[in-house]
């Protein structure tokens, strides 16, 4: 793939939550964003990613995953069936996820943990990077990740999306080969911890995202404005030119999108 005219890549988006025609229009009309990494939600949603990928093979990167919001709501047999589908679908996508742990959502019988471990096993088996969604449970998530010897040895393991934690926590993910993806939260004054973190984090470990639309009820894509705003914010916070920050983020995305060595070819 040629990356010459790389603009900004939205490292975490759900433009496929929009109706197909509208998502197509978004992709055609964006002035600042030229690529989208989509986060997986549930099996039905994977199909809408596939449709967009077919239309825009060089602009859309797909994933398959059962979102932690979904996992706790599934009955045992439904979860088992969805994980079977995931196994089948995973050879045909760029990333595995979203997966992880979210303290604000149902987690009967530790279903989130069970699903998370299965996603990791699949990502290792198919040699694909992971998209992590971790809210309020970083310690447990890091324990699960660190227990996977093969994962610890890989140099690029994916990204943790919508990160808002401390610099100390961020360092653990970086050590494990994850990029820290920061979203529009950093633009808000009350996200003090995140604002402190982004001052300390090496630029080589950062990517940025709109997480837009973040659920099915939102009808617009905000990333074309949000991503330049994040760059402006970082430029001021880090006292570096916007150009330098943008260029480094482009480099990071290129590394992230480089297939993991020995990746099973689609």
Which residues make up the interface to Zn ion (CB under 5 A)?
39
The least distance separating Zn ion from the CB of residue 212, rounded to whole angstroms, comes to 9
Q: What is the DSSP letter of 85?
A: H
The least distance separating Zn ion from the CB of residue 38, rounded to whole angstroms, comes to 9
Tokens of 133: 């969604």
C-beta nearest to Zn ion: residue: 39
The least distance separating Zn ion from the CB of residue 209, rounded to whole angstroms, comes to 8
C-alpha–C-alpha distance, residues 52 and 40, integer Å = 13
Residue number, 43 or 245, with CB nearest to Zn ion: 43
> Residue 155 region, left (φ>0) first, then alpha (ψ -120 to 50), else beta?
alpha
**Closest alpha carbon to 254 in 21, 46, 90, 35:** 35
The least distance separating Zn ion from the CB of residue 241, rounded to whole angstroms, comes to 30
C-alpha–C-alpha distance, residues 207 and 180, integer Å = 6
| Residue 77 burial (CB count, 10 A) | 8
Note if the bond before 198 is cis, omega within 30 degrees.
Answer: no
Look at the chain and count its residues: 266
| Residue 28 burial (CB count, 10 A) | 9
The least distance separating Zn ion from the CB of residue 126, rounded to whole angstroms, comes to 20
């Amino acid at each position: 793939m040629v990356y010459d005219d790389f603009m900004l890549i939205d490292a975490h988006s759900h433009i496929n939550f929009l109706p197909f025609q509208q998502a197509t229009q978004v992709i055609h009309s964006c002035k600042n964003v030229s690529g989208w990494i989509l986060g997986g939600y549930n099996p039905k949603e994977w199909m809408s990613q596939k449709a967009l990928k077919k239309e825009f093979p060089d602009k859309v990167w797909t994933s398959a995953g059962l979102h932690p919001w979904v996992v706790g709501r599934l009955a045992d047999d439904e979860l088992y069936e969805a994980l079977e589908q995931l196994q089948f679908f995973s050879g045909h996508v760029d990333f595995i996820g979203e997966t992880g742990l979210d303290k604000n959502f149902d987690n009967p019988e530790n279903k989130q943990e069970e699903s998370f471990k299965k996603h990791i096993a699949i990502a290792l088996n198919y040699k694909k990077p992971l998209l992590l969604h971790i809210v309020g449970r970083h310690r447990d998530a890091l324990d699960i990740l660190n227990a996977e010897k093969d994962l610890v040895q890989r140099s690029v393991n994916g990204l943790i999306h919508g990160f808002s934690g401390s610099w100390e926590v961020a360092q653990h993910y970086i050590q494990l080969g994850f990029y820290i993806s920061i979203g529009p939260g950093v633009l808000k004054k009350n996200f003090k911890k995140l604002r402190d973190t982004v001052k300390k984090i090496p630029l080589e470990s950062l990517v940025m995202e709109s997480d837009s639309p973040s659920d099915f009820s939102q009808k617009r894509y905000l990333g074309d404005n949000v991503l330049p705003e994040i760059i402006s914010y970082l430029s001021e916070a880090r006292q570096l030119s916007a150009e330098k920050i943008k260029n480094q983020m482009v480099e990071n995305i290129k590394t992230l999108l480089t297939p993991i060595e020995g990746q099973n070819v689609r």
